[in-house]
Amino acid sequence: MDDVMVAVMHDGKPIPSDLGGPVRLVVPMMYAYKSVKWLNRIELIEGEHVGYWEECGYSNDAWV
């Protein structure tokens, strides 16, 4: 999606560790479990992926 961002700053300051810094993936318009705190890699995969929260019963379709 074209509005997904890899954020390194919030309000002009580095993102602190307790808020997911130094790098955080933000997915606007979806529930927060689709965003990633403490991003440490990006892996490109083919097809759908069932993540941790989806395995716990959360919807794979997480539009707000």
pLDDT in tens, 1-60: 899 999 999 999 999 999 899 999 998 988 888 888 899 999 999 998 888 888 999 888
Would you say residue 63 lies in a domain? no
Would you say residue 10 lies in a domain? yes
Domain of 36 in residue numbering reads as: 5-55
Alpha-carbon torsion (56, 57, 58, 60), positive or negative? positive
Residue 58: Cβ within 10 Å count: 14
Q: What single letter denotes the amino acid at residue 20? A: G
Distance CA 61, CA 15 (A): 27
Q: What's the pTM?
A: 0.70
9: DSSP letter: E
The tokens of 61 are what? Answer: 């379709």
Would you say residue 60 lies in a domain? no
- Please, where are the H alpha helices in 1-64? 52-55
Would you say residue 14 lies in a domain? yes
